[in-house]
Amino acid sequence: MTTITTTDELAAFCTMARTHPYVTVDTEFLRERTYYSKLCLVQLAVPGKDAQSAVLVDPLAEGLSLDPLYALFCDTSVVKVFHAARQDLEIFQVDAGVIPAPMFDTQVAAMVCGFGEQAGYETLVKKIARQSVDKSSRFTDWSRRPLSEAQKTYALADVTHLREIYEFLARKLQDTGREQWLAEELAVLTDPATYRTDPAVAWHRIKTRNSSGKFLAVLRELARFREEYAQTHDVPRSRVYKDDALVELASTKPQSLEDLGRSRLLLREARRGEIADGILCAVKAGLACPQDQLPRADAEGDKAQVNPALADLLRVLLKAKSERFGVASKLIASAADLDTLAAGGRDIAALNGWRFDVFGRDALRLCEGAIALAVRGNGVETVDL
């Protein structure tokens, strides 16, 4: 198997790849000790069975530039095929501001084609390529050199089988007329904004039951500081302070280093120096937040009352539609979406695009009492009222 270690070798492969309709792509990376992923390996394959049709690219090789690869990613005549692409795309967007286009995600396509909820690569290899994948090297250290033959074999398999999976799913999408469905799903993945974390809204990911405005204001500032520090120093959020420590700090609102020393959950390194100063400044900023600018746990105010009977009927309708159209139910609507509908809410994805045609239109009619559900044999159908 070929391992590319120079820019010239990469450029030659990418030039050859441009003569093909698609190229399959995967990466291996580490993220345990950093905020941003550390790219350790890129796997590429084009249609064909010869040894030169699939290669490994070593981004850690001295002097190697990924510019030829990014140029290939920008060539719209070649489809870039990934499986579960989100983390891969984040790496390329952060490193070079590049999102491959056009892009095809086989995991999303498999959900659209009825292969269940977030079908794994192993599952698709077995069902479509009729092969098995050795995953014994999945959790190895990809930053160490030299790579073992087992690592190389494992890594290459992630793009060689992907060729057959892509061709199968692409045909199925074309046969069923669902290419636009996939395009709608990939819109979020291919939006650069998806991979930007705004420190100002980092507090939304913190789970807490405390809805006090002052508490949330301090929480917001503590989360903002942590995100900014983690990004600037390229360290995981948990290395600054963990979520439970953040919630504790928002509750106790320390005013001094002595107060910080009383924290039960704060890491020792965070009780002094730059992090400690940042915590105290964040608490001060949160406490100084004007009353009319205090955040709320639920931006829409108190949640509307969910009609449990209607929510149950919507679940039955969703299951029936999922089975009829052969689409993973979670791709159509989440449990939260159904509760929102049953509470009178309408701002959900299921009421837009292909989801509206498959489920949303009848879901609204069910909510309005215009249709009922009836059992027909082993299935459930809608009945006009």
Query: Whole-angstrom Cα distance, residue 220 to residue 331?
Result: 31
Contact assessment for residue 4 and residue 55, using Cβ atoms and an 8 Å cutoff: yes
Over the range 323-340, which residues count as b (16 or more CB within 10 Å of their CB) and which as e?
Answer: eebebbbebbbeeebbbb
Q: What is the mean pLDDT of the chain?
A: 94
pLDDT tens column, 2-15: 999 999 999 999 99
pLDDT in the model for residue 38: 96
**What is the band of 133 on the pLDDT scale with cuts at 50, 70, 90?**
confident
Q: What is the DSSP letter of 47?
A: S
pLDDT at 192 over 80: yes
pLDDT, tens digit, 9 for 90 and up, residues 63-120: 999 999 999 999 999 999 999 999 999 999 999 999 999 999 999 999 999 998 878 9
Q: Is residue 349 classed exposed, middle or buried when 0-12, 13-18 and 19+ CB atoms within 10 A define those classes?
A: middle
Residue 304: what pLDDT?
66
Tell me which DSSP letter residue 306 carries. P
CA distance 131 to 204: 42
Domain 2-195 and domain 308-384, same fold? Reply is no
d(CA 82, CA 182): 13
CATH class of 199-293: mainly alpha
Residues forming a β-bridge with 44: 25, 55
- Report pLDDT digits (tens) over 344-385: 999 999 999 999 999 999 999 999 999 999 998 888 999 999
CATH of 2-195, one of 3.30.420.10, 3.40.309.10, 1.10.10.10, 3.40.50.1860: 3.30.420.10
What pLDDT sits at residue 298? Answer: 62
pTM above 0.85, yes or no: yes
Q: What is the pLDDT of residue 149?
A: 94
- Model confidence at 228, in pLDDT bands (50, 70, 90)? very high
- Backbone dihedral region for residue 307 (phi beyond 0: left; psi -120 to 50: alpha; all else: beta): beta
Architecture field, domain 308-384: Orthogonal Bundle (1.10)
- The mean pLDDT value for 176-182 works out to 95
Q: Where do the domains of the chain lie? A: 2-195, 199-293, 308-384
Token readout for 154 is 């494992």
**Displacement of CA 21 from its chain's centroid (Å):** 26
Name the packing angle between helices 273-287 and 213-233 (round to 10°): 150
DSSP category for residue 140: S
What span, in angstroms and rounded, lies between the C-alpha atoms of 381 and 375? Answer: 6
Identify the pLDDT of residue 301: 40
**What's phi and psi for 153, nearest 5 deg?**
-65, -45
Ranges of H-type helices in the chain: 7-17, 67-73, 86-96, 106-112, 121-124, 149-176, 179-189, 213-233, 237-240, 243-252, 257-260, 273-287, 308-325, 329-332, 335-342, 353-355, 361-367
Which of 44, 43, 40 lies closest to 15 in space, CA to CA? 44
Instruction: Examine the pLDDT at 25 and tell me if it is beyond 60.
Output: yes
Q: Which of 70, 260, 103 is nearest to 191 (CA)?
A: 103
Q: How far apart are the first and last CA of the chain?
A: 65
Compare 133 and 22 and report the one with higher pLDDT: 22
pLDDT digits (tens, 9 = 90+) for 300-351: 444 568 999 999 999 999 999 999 999 999 999 999 999 999 999 999 999 9
Q: Could you tell me what percent of the chain has a pLDDT over 90? A: 90
Alpha-carbon distance of 245 to 219, in angstroms, equals 11
- pLDDT at residue 29 greater than cutoff 50: yes
H or E stretch at 371: strand 371-376
Does residue 299 register a pLDDT over 80? no
How confident is the model over 261-279, as pLDDT tens digits? 999 999 999 999 999 999 9
pLDDT at 303: 55
The helix-helix angle for 273-287 and 243-252 (nearest 10°) equals: 50
| Separation CA 80–CA 26 (nearest Å) | 10
